[in-house]
Homo-oligomer: A and B are copies of this chain.
């Protein structure tokens, strides 16, 4: 593990470049330190085009070791992951996720699961009561555990020169995904993750994020000061969209389109019914 040291000049140049790409605006806050891990984190981009290059043996095990190193609530480890490499299964999952061809094309597709079945089964073996598993809190723990684990895997794979993209579309039809993966009751597919080497002929760009002043609050939540900063970000995103060949709609209007109606959730408006069908009581 590296320790905090004043950054070298080359690090400062690299850091400033990374931060300006991340926000699409100049960065002015002095930094305490910089390192290779921060480079990896800041350089993240979602990649949907992969090189025709297999993953080296041991890659999956390395990613899972990183994932398992993330925090987990009370060490309950209420998550699992299914690694899918079979082309036919990847193709079926690609369709279930809304026809996303990169799910089929990635050499490895990981489906991250909130897994309450493992401890439930252990309880059954020892005739223990598992009343707590029926509460929405316990499902939240599983979803959060899965997300922390998956993000560690993403950092690990990007540190190894690979890329990926999360697939929230795995929640479009959770019961069908559960059937495809042979999931027992009380296991929820939370999201997918495509993994592969990036196709360097179609490089993905770092997407600018909201200004820090919008997401970072000091001591208490500050709503009023977000308004002007969001307007500025709409300008930044408009410029970014233009470089991507998209109309310069900005952030606000494109984001609001996702929430406009029940239909704009693309079937995920029925997630509560799907959770019930998968055995979650949501008490």
Contacts and interface: CB of A to CB of B under 8 A. Distances in A.
Interface of A: 1-4, 19, 22-23, 29-33, 35-44, 46, 55-62, 64-66, 68-77, 79-86, 89, 113, 115, 117-119, 121-123, 125-126, 128-133, 135-138, 140-141, 143-144, 147-148, 150-152, 154-156, 158-162, 165-166, 168, 171, 181-184, 187, 190-191, 207, 209-210, 212, 214-221, 223, 226-227, 230, 251-253, 255-256, 258-262, 264-265, 268-269, 271-272, 275, 282-283
A125 B253 CA distance: 11
A61 to B, nearest CB: 5
Given A136-B271, A138-B265, 4 more contacts: A32-B56, A70-B151, A77-B215, A181-B220
A71 B161 CA distance: 17
A223 B38 contact: no
A79 B147 CA distance: 14
A12 to B, nearest CB: 12
